[in-house]
Amino acid sequence: MSTIHVVDPVTRFVQDVDANEALSHRLGAYSPTEVVVVGCLLCKLNLPIPIANKILHLAGFLTGFFEETDEIVQERANVDREYLRLAIPDEMGHETLQLEECVSLTIECISRDQGWASDDPHLNNTYEGCHSWIEFTIKDENGNDVMPRQDVCRNFRANSSYRHHMIQWRDPAILSHLQPGNHIVVYIRAIYPGWANLAKYARITVAFAAGLKDSVDTTQLLKTFLPTSPPGGNFITQGLESLVAHVGGPTACLLM
């Protein structure tokens, strides 16, 4: 059974979690089209667009963006290398959608240190005293940091096995910086002689609540997705059946 080591962003406690369970917590797994269709179906219930948008958010109909890399790197101290970057797009992937708010930022990395340490052997196979780590920052469109760098995770000290770490932030102090045009940048770090950082995977996932624009004609828009009305003209019934048949719940279709 594969395991992902989930890092608490506040306490830094690391919990071993089944990989399938951990990956299920990646938010933003609906495509923009799916969000639009469900929003239009809600409006067919005579709900105002702002209320429909609120329901989309509360029900977990989130969309998002991700970038990932499987580049294999082996770096030694003193290293401060950019490994992965995600730029927040200016639009939400469908002309009728608008950005409501950022809901979460998730960063994953598979990495390890050099596999040995000559000092403090009692700290080996822990996260204490490891001078090899992953960190990130958020930059504006001009390349300036908008917040101090923060740790993603420390490597497991003096251990030659790669570990898959995941951390998810929902702190408004961080998410407020995830505006269109800004960049999330992940770095590989190591300091002091003998220390190294070896990485072979990283992923950045950002989940957003997106809603319909107030100017959208939801009835006409829904017809573009469901062009043929069934007997009785029940677009809602047809729409829900279409979602079950063609969407099947959350998909892995994120914007790139």
- Retrieve residue 144's tokens: 């300036």
pLDDT at 234: 54
Q: Which two tokens stand for residue 23?
A: 């990956």
Angle of CA points 252, 112, 159, to nearest 5°: 130
CA torsion sign, 141 to 145 to 151 to 155?
Answer: positive
What's residue 149's pLDDT? Answer: 96
Q: Which residues contact 135 (CB under 8 A, 6 or more apart)?
A: 149, 150, 151, 152, 186, 187, 189
Largest CA distance in the chain: 77
Q: Model confidence over 37-53: pLDDT tens digits?
A: 999 999 988 999 999 99
Q: What is the pLDDT of residue 221?
A: 86
Dist CA 129 CA 139 (whole Å): 29
Q: How many CA atoms lie within 13 A of 45 on its CB side?
A: 12
pLDDT, position 26: 84
pLDDT at 209: 92
User: Where do the DSSP E strands lie in the chain?
Assistant: 3-7, 14-18, 63-69, 73-76, 79-87, 97-112, 132-139, 150-154, 163-169, 183-190, 196-212
Provide the pLDDT for residue 216.
87
* pLDDT of 251: 34
Contact 157, 128 (CB under 8 A): yes
CA dihedral over 35, 208, 101, 145, signed as positive or negative: negative
- The C-alpha atoms of residue 117 and residue 123 are separated, in whole angstroms, by 9
Residues 42, 96: Cα–Cα separation, whole Å: 15
Strand partners, 66: 205
> Which residue in 108, 159, 115, 158 sits closest to 134, CA to CA?
108
Q: What is the pLDDT of residues 131-183, one digit of tens each?
A: 999 999 999 999 999 999 999 999 999 999 999 999 999 999 999 999 999 99
Quote the mean pLDDT of the chain: 88
- Which residues neighbour 228 within 8 Å (Cβ) at sequence distance 6 or greater? none
Point out which residues pair with 206 in neighbouring strands. 65, 105
- Among residues 13, 54, 64, which one has the least CA distance to residue 175? 64
pTM comes to: 0.85
Q: How far apart, in Å, are the Cα atoms of 22 and each of 19, 143, 152?
A: 5, 32, 16
Which amino acid appears at position 203 of this protein?
R
Residue stretches of the chain with pLDDT short of 70: 1, 227-256
